[in-house]
Amino acid sequence: MNLTVKEITTLTDGRTNGIYEIAITGAAGLDEAGPTDISFIANPKYASKVANSKAGLIFITDEFKTNKPAIIVKNPQLAFAKVLTVLAEDILPDYKPLIHQQACVSKSAKIAPGVHIGPFVVIEDNVQVGEDTVIVANTFIGSNTKIGANSLIYPNVTIRENIIIGQRAIIHPGVVIGGDGFGFVGAKKHFKIPQIGTVEIGDDVEIGSNCAIDRATIGKTKIGSGTKIDNMVHFAHNVIVGENCIICGQSGIAGSAKIGDYVTMAAQSGITGHVSVGDNTIVAARAAVIGDVRPNQIVSGFPARPHREAMKVEALIRKLPDLFEKIKILTQKVNK
């Protein structure tokens, strides 16, 4: 696909720093880009790379000055993403409406028009699949599950029975939705608590590869609309996640925890069970939240505490060897 400068400026609501007639056919980083590629710079510390870049066009902000052909936008990375969306139309597979002859689809399932169902997909009784949804090979969808329109479910996904998934979901390979929550009772023998609840996933949710979202013991585990989930994240039973959250890779949320809207959990962070995390909170990488967190906080450390406090604690810990030596010397002087 060729994109003209005019098409790109219209798409991104930008303006050029000159008059150019360049056909853009690809996108790349500043170091790798060629004369028909578009690139971007969002961080001033990489400004030196612009001078050496061979990119045909570069997205910049109004504050950045360059003699290279550029398009000025408010958010270069967002503009770049919009161009990638258009270019991807020539690269990503085009799934035509189809129910593959090697798929196993129950006669009681309701499959809307425009749906693509790949080979070796299993769809059980009373499943509902919305218009233009794509379900790629080897995926299992359990009975009474509902999947909204325009969703994309990649290979080897397992969605168990009685699950609700909203519209425009993207579910990457290896995801398991609705597996049993980890519920047992008893001391010497572990009696399994039947997990008879469900999972409800809102609209525009993206779930990264190999995530596990457990069904509720009773009631529901819920992921709010607009939330984006990285690879290998675990949501235990009865977890409630708000809207437009960002949950990064290898994070874990224990049972019955409640997370507000616009919360960010950085990589390998964790939240213990039955606690609440307020709206607009950022949980730093590897932080462990073991108590309620008020809205609009940044927390880090183990256990998680306000970030400034956690940094002070970390700084003091690094001084412990020197402090220990000083105390040892002072103790010797006192004893003499």
The helix/strand/coil state of 6 is: helix
Residues with a known catalytic role = 237
Q: Are strands 305-306 and 288-289 parallel, antiparallel or unpaired?
A: unpaired
Q: Rounded CA gap, 61 and 211, in Å?
A: 36
Tell me how crowded residue 255 is: count the other CB atoms within 10 A of its CB.
Answer: 19
Q: Rounded CA gap, 85 and 32, in Å?
A: 19
Q: Rounded CA gap, 229 and 241, in Å?
A: 11
The helix/strand/coil state of 264 is: strand
Q: Rounded CA gap, 152 and 147, in Å?
A: 10
- The amino acid at residue 76 is P
Cis amide prior to 69 (ω within 30 degrees): no
Contact predicate 214/196, CB 8 Å = no
Rg of the chain over Cα atoms, rounded to whole angstroms, equals: 26
Q: Rounded CA gap, 20 and 13, in Å?
A: 17
Structure tokens at 29: 């980083």
327 φ, ψ to 5°?
A: -65, -40
- Select from 34, 18, 62, 82 the least CA-distant residue to 5: 18
